[in-house]
Structure 1
C-alpha cells in the first residue's frame, strides 16, 4: 500500500539570498519533520529551531503542527530591532523634523 503524500513548500530568506524548495512528504508530516528533511538546517547553519520562529503562510505555528497539501512553511530570522521601538523612534524623528521645518519658516503643518 502506498502512503498518501502531499506537496509542500519551504522558504527561508536572508539578506542577499532566498531559498524555496518544493517537497513531496507523507500526508502526516509535521512542520519540524519537513524542515529536517529539506536540508535547510545544513544549508543554513544559522537556523536554530530552538530560537527561530516558523509559520505556515505567514501565520506562526509550532514544529509539531500538521500540514495540508500546498502549504508553505516559512522559517523566520530573528528580529534585529523591536518593531514597536522602531516605530516610536521613527515617529519621534518625524516630529523633530517637522518642528525644525516650522522654526525655519517652512512647513505650516
Structure 2
C-alpha cells in the first residue's frame, strides 16, 4: 500500500487548526484526526459526537480517505439556523 496526502482542519472564531499529513492508503477519517494531534490541541472536541466531513460533505468516522481529501471537524451550532432565519424575517416584517 502507498501513501496519500490529506489535511485535517478545525476552525474556531479566533484561530484555526490546519495540518497536512501523509498517511497510508485505507486510512479512516477517525484515524487521520487522531494522528493530526487536533484532539490534543483542542481537547474539548469529543470525536465520538462531533460532526465531521470531507470538503463540506458530512461523513462518518469510518470513511476511508482518498488522496488530497480535506478532513473537517465541525463545531456545534450556537443557534438553530431555522430559528435565526425566522427572527430575521420577523424583524424585517416589523420594520416594513
**TM bucket, shorter chain:** over 0.9
SS of the residue 1:85 aligns to:
helix
Cα distance in 2 for partners of 1:77, 1:50 equals: 13
Runs of 4+ with deviation above 6 angstroms: none
Name 2:5's counterpart in structure 1.
7
Highest CA radius of gyration, 1 or 2? 1
Name 1:22's counterpart in structure 2.
20
Q: Shift of residue 51 of structure 1? A: 2.0
Higher relative CO (CA 8 A, sep ≥ 6), structure 1 or 2? 2
TM-score by length of 2: 0.97
Structure 1 unaligned spans of 5+: 99-109
Name 2:37's counterpart in structure 1.
39
Name 1:104's counterpart in structure 2.
none
TM-score by length of 1: 0.86
